[in-house]
Amino acid sequence: MIIVISKRWLLLAAAACCIAFLGSTAFLESQIAKPVFSASEAAALTVVLDPGHGGEDGGAVSPDGVEESGLNLEIALRLQELLRFSGVKTQMTRIADVSIHQEEARTIQEKKASDLRQRVEIVNGIPGAMLLSIHQNSLPSSVVTYGAQAFWNQQAGAERLAVSIQDALNQAINTHRAKEAKPIASTIYLMRQITAPGVLVECGFLSNPEETLRLQQAGHQCRLAVAITAGFFKGLSEGNES
Ligand SMILES: [Zn+2]
């Protein structure tokens, strides 16, 4: 049995994510392939959705005080809706503005380290997992810099998914300035420690006031979620063809 991700199906998913968002239709039309993965593959896969930071660790902060952690959660929850609607199992690393550290952690540094270890345990404890980690960027030295960028970890299959997600993001989000998917820096603990393929998406720049406004809008968050979902499915299907 083959699950067909039809244009109509993902359009319905987009509607479920955000009924007001209509700009994705032309984009999806160009993205969605025919059969993309078998039912057994879909059943075996769990996408771990990881909204970066949380609790005392707000992550990057815009000049007017918008914290990365809240945007990460909102976008990850939209992704969860889309992926579940498409029949993919998901697991969130957090579903509220919290750090998931263990009780014995006391200092902020200990809590952050414990939180990251817990996230690694979640991913590595799920057979057939893949990680989608959602973050926001910041580059105060260049406030005009904007756009979404995907990074892959060293596990097999991650690069293909990141490149495909980047391609979708370039069409839907980075319309005037394409970005290139890149390998993640080895200093990023979660991406280095997991044994599953991982893609980290920096959805936009909180150092850019205009993009910070967009990132808070439901329509833009939906556009990001739809692009990441479409790129994910396309990357998966390309893997099956090779
Ligand atoms: Zn971050």
Ligand 1 mean position, distance from CA 206 (Å): 11
In contact, 134 and 215? CB cutoff 8 Å: no
Tokens 């300035």 belong to residue: 177
Give the chain's end-to-end CA distance (angstroms, integer). Answer: 20
pLDDT at 73 over 60: yes
Q: Which domains does the chain have, with CATH numbers?
A: 2-241 (3.40.630.40)
pLDDT value of residue 170: 98
Starting at the earlier edge strand, list the strands of the sheet with 198-205.
Answer: 89-92, 46-51, 129-137, 198-205, 149-152, 182-183
pLDDT at 34 over 60: no
Give the pLDDT band of residue 205 (cuts 50, 70, 90): very high
pLDDT value of residue 217: 98
In contact, 166 and 181? CB cutoff 8 Å: yes
Tokens standing for residue 221: 């968050």
Residues with CB under 5 A from ligand 1 (ion): 52, 59, 135
Asked whether the whole model's pTM tops 0.85, one would answer yes
In contact, 216 and 8? CB cutoff 8 Å: no
Tokens standing for residue 130: 């893949």
Ligand 1 mean position, distance from CA 215 (Å): 14
Ligand 1 mean position, distance from CA 222 (Å): 19
DSSP class of residue 61 equals B
For 87, half-sphere exposure in the C-beta direction (CA atoms, 13 angstrom radius) is 17
pLDDT value of residue 186: 95
In contact, 151 and 190? CB cutoff 8 Å: no
Phi, psi for 177 (deg, rounded to 5): -150, 95
Ligand 1 mean position, distance from CA 60 (Å): 6
pLDDT value of residue 37: 54
pLDDT value of residue 14: 53
